Amino acid sequence: MRAFASSFHAWKSLERQEGVKVPHGLVFPLAVVEALGAPYGLSMNAEEHTPAGPAGFDAIFLSVLDSRCMVEAAKHFRRWSVPFRRENRRPVGRYPLVWAGGQGLHNPRPMAPCFDLCVIGDAEDSLPALLALWERHGNTAAFLSAASLVPGVFVPDHHNPTEVTIQQGVSSDIGVTLRNDIRVSHDGSRRVEIARGCKYKCTFCSLGWRTPVRENKPEQIIAEIVRSPKRVHLQAGDAESHSGINAIRAALRAHGGSDQGWTGRIDSLFENPDQTIPGQKRYAFGVEGVTYRLRRAVGKGYLTDERLITDTCRFFEAIEGENKGRAAWHIIAGLPGERSMDGFELRKVVEEIDRRRRGKTPRNLSLHWQPFQPLPGTPMQWCAGGTGARALMRAFNGLHTPWVPVRSMGGRTDHMALICTTLARSDERGADLLEALADGDVTPTDAERVTGTTHQALDLDAQLPWDFIVQWQPASTLRRAHDVMMARLDE
C-alpha cells in the first residue's frame, strides 16, 4: 500500500507554539505507523513533500493531533482536490480510502463524515490486521465491512455510535522505535520512545486517563542509544519519570550524546538525587495554573509558589556550562475559577526567581500561554472553554528580570480556542463546521449554532458524543475526579 500522509500541518502548529523551525519528514505518530506497517507493505509520503497531492495513492492517512489542527481539515481536502465528505467519494475505490487516527480523535464524530475508518488509540494491534485485510480486498466495500470487525477500529458505514461501543486500542508492546530507526526531524536525531501514557492524573490532560503507563526496559533503550547518532530524542509524556531514567541518561552521556526531547514535570526532574541536567536539552515544564489554588485543583498540588521558585532556581543552577540551557513554562489561561488579577501572582514568582539568581549566570525563561480547552476523555471534559491568555500576558508587561530574561509566547486566540472547544465535543455536525471554516470566518457563536453544542460548561448527566468510546478509565472515575477538582476550586 502507498499512502499519502497528512497531520493537517501539526508540525507547523508546534513550530508556531514553540518558536522553533526544524525541517522534518513525517510527524512522529505517522512515522510510527509507517514503521508498524512496513512489514505488511506500507509506504508513506508526507503531504509537505508531495506537492502533487494524493492522486494515485491507495490511501490518505490522517493523524489528528488535536482540534487546532482539525480546523484545517476541509481546507486540506479542497487543496488536494478530494471531496471532504465520504458520501461524495463514492463508489468505494473512486478515490483513495481515508484512514484516520490520533489523540485528537478520541471523539471521532466531527470527522466521521470524512474518513472511511478510524483507529481509536494505539495502532500496534489493529494496523497489521487492517493492512492484511486491505491486501486481500483492496479499496472495496468488502474491505470496509471486514475492517469493521477489527477491535479498536471505527467504520462509520458499519458502526452507529448510538448503538455500538468501540474499545480504545492499548498495546502492551511499545517497542516499535527500538526495532526501527525512526527519524522525524532532518537534524540527524533519532526518536526512541521510552514510555507511553503518564502516571500522573492532571485533570486537563489526556495522557493519564485514556491509557495506562507502559515503559520500555532501560536495557533495551540503552542498547539502542549506543547504536544511535549523538542526537537522540527520548520520547515520552514525561521522560524524567521513567523508572530507569538515571541509567538511560548515564548511557546517553557516556555515548557523548544529547537528548533533543522535552520534559513535562519539574518535580520529577529532581526525584533522583544523582540526576544529571544536560545543558543542551530543551526543558518545558507544565506549570499550568497561574496560582497555586488553580494548580492544586487540576492536579499540580505539589507545585506551590515556593516549590516553583525553588525548583526553577535549582534547575537553572544545575544546568551544565555557561550560557546553556533554558526553561519553558507551559501555562493555561482561563481555567475554571481563574480571577482577573491572578496573573500578577505568577509575575511575583518570576520576580522572586530573578532576585534569588542575582549575580549568577543569566538563564532564559519562556512563558508559553494557551487558552484552556476541555478535552474529551478527561475529568475536565464537562468544563467551559477558557479565554484570556493574552490578557494574562499583559501582567508581565514592563517586567525587568535581568538574571532571568522572560519571553512570553501566545498560542491560540480566544476566538479560535472557543471554536476548537465546540468542534472537539460535537457530533457529526462538526463536519459542517469544518466546511464553514474552509469557506471563511466563523465566530464562536456560529460554531455553537452549526454543531448544536457549546463551548460553555456541559450538563454532567448529559450523553456525550464520545461515550461510545471505551477508554482505560471509566466515565464514573472521570466524574469523581471532576467533582474533587471543583470542590478544591471552591475552597
Model confidence over 456-486: pLDDT tens digits?
Answer: 999 999 999 999 999 999 999 999 999 999 9
| Mean pLDDT to the nearest integer, 131-138 | 98
At 288 the pLDDT is: 95
Q: Is the pLDDT score of 195 beyond 70?
A: yes
Q: Is the pLDDT score of 155 beyond 90?
A: yes
| Mean pLDDT to the nearest integer, 255-262 | 85
The pTM (predicted TM-score) of the whole model is 0.93
Percent of the residues in the chain that have a pLDDT greater than 90, as a whole number: 80
Q: Which residue has the cell 459542517?
A: 432
Q: Is the pLDDT score of 45 beyond 70?
A: yes
pLDDT band at 148 (very low <50, low <70, confident <90, very high): very high
Percent of the residues in the chain that have a pLDDT greater than 70, as a whole number: 93
Q: Is the pLDDT score of 21 beyond 70?
A: no
At 44 the pLDDT is: 96
At 23 the pLDDT is: 62
How much is the mean pLDDT over the chain? Answer: 92
At 241 the pLDDT is: 85
| Mean pLDDT to the nearest integer, 239-264 | 86
pLDDT band at 261 (very low <50, low <70, confident <90, very high): confident
At 25 the pLDDT is: 80
pLDDT band at 145 (very low <50, low <70, confident <90, very high): very high
At 280 the pLDDT is: 54
Q: Is the pLDDT score of 340 beyond 90?
A: no
At 217 the pLDDT is: 98
| Mean pLDDT to the nearest integer, 197-202 | 91
CA distance 255 to 260: 14
| Mean pLDDT to the nearest integer, 36-48 | 96
Q: Is the pLDDT score of 254 beyond 80?
A: yes
pLDDT band at 299 (very low <50, low <70, confident <90, very high): very high
**165-179, 213-227, 238-252: lowest mean pLDDT where?**
238-252
At 19 the pLDDT is: 55
Q: Is the pLDDT score of 433 beyond 90?
A: yes
- Comparing 18 with 251, the larger pLDDT belongs to 251
Q: Which residue has the cell 454532567?
A: 460
pLDDT band at 225 (very low <50, low <70, confident <90, very high): very high
Q: Parallel, antiparallel, or unpaired: how do β-strands 214-215 and 195-196 relate?
A: antiparallel
Render pLDDT for 344-383 as a digit per residue (tens, 0 to 9): 999 999 999 999 999 998 999 999 999 999 999 999 999 9
At 186 the pLDDT is: 75
Q: Is the pLDDT score of 216 beyond 90?
A: yes
| Mean pLDDT to the nearest integer, 261-286 | 67
pLDDT band at 33 (very low <50, low <70, confident <90, very high): very high
